Amino acid sequence: MTTTTDDDRGFPPALAEVAATEFDHDEGNGIDFEPYAAFDSAEETTDWLRSWTGNPDLDGGAYRVFGQDGTGGLAALWCVRPGRPLVEQPVVFMGSEGACGVVAGGVSDFLWVLADGIGPMEAVEYDDLSGRADPVLASLAERYATTPRRPAREIVLGARADFPAYVQDIEALCR
């Protein structure tokens, strides 16, 4: 996997505001997401990736972990677009039970996914990508998004199409 050469861990303002937002899981009818106020350290990220894959040879440098679901599955920016800013890197999710996938093509589209009431775990683990729109998250997306608003389903399926081998590439790293 290609990574950026820059180890930028500066937290994007949009994700900082997401972190300041309360998420209501609503007993399974809301978004199961606990955003962080900063990226995990490079060491924590490497430890997580090695543990998740069972592969002690991996380096987590391609990921910037910024949140989790209630079971410990992690949402991260996947730094696969060399030379592009962090906010233009795809958002991925790696669940605690082994599910993984691409959620959005960048932070901007991720904000629209959240605005539609879909979190990173829901985007990867469920086929039904029709959430319950959240006006607070929609307002946040309107302030920060640089991409046009589209339904979460369109964004998620588009990101999967842009990175069709992501799941297979991650599975190939597992020991």
Judge contact between 106 and 78, C-beta under 8 A.
no
pLDDT at 170 over 80: yes
- What is the structure's pLDDT at 23? 87
pLDDT digit string, tens, across residues 125-148? 998 888 788 899 999 999 999 999
pLDDT at 92 over 90: yes
pLDDT at 153 over 60: yes
Enumerate the domain spans of the chain: 13-170
pLDDT at 1 over 50: no
pLDDT digit string, tens, across residues 35-72? 999 999 999 999 999 999 999 999 999 999 999 999 99
- What is the structure's pLDDT at 28? 61
Confidence of residue 2 (pLDDT cuts 50, 70, 90): very low
- What is the structure's pLDDT at 9? 85
Confidence of residue 4 (pLDDT cuts 50, 70, 90): very low
- What is the structure's pLDDT at 130? 83
pLDDT (mean) for 87-100? 96
pLDDT digit string, tens, across residues 101-120? 999 999 999 999 999 999 99
Higher local confidence (pLDDT), 18 or 2: 18
Higher local confidence (pLDDT), 128 or 149: 149
Q: Is 4 helix (H, G, I), strand (E, B) or coil?
A: coil
The set of residues, in sequence order, having a beta carbon less than 8 Å from that of 70 and lying 6+ positions away, is 25, 32, 34
- What is the structure's pLDDT at 26? 66
Give, as one character, the DSSP assignment of residue 6: -
CA-to-CA separations, 61 to 1, 86, 88, 144, in angstroms, rounded: 11, 13, 16, 26
Q: Which amino acid is at 162?
A: D
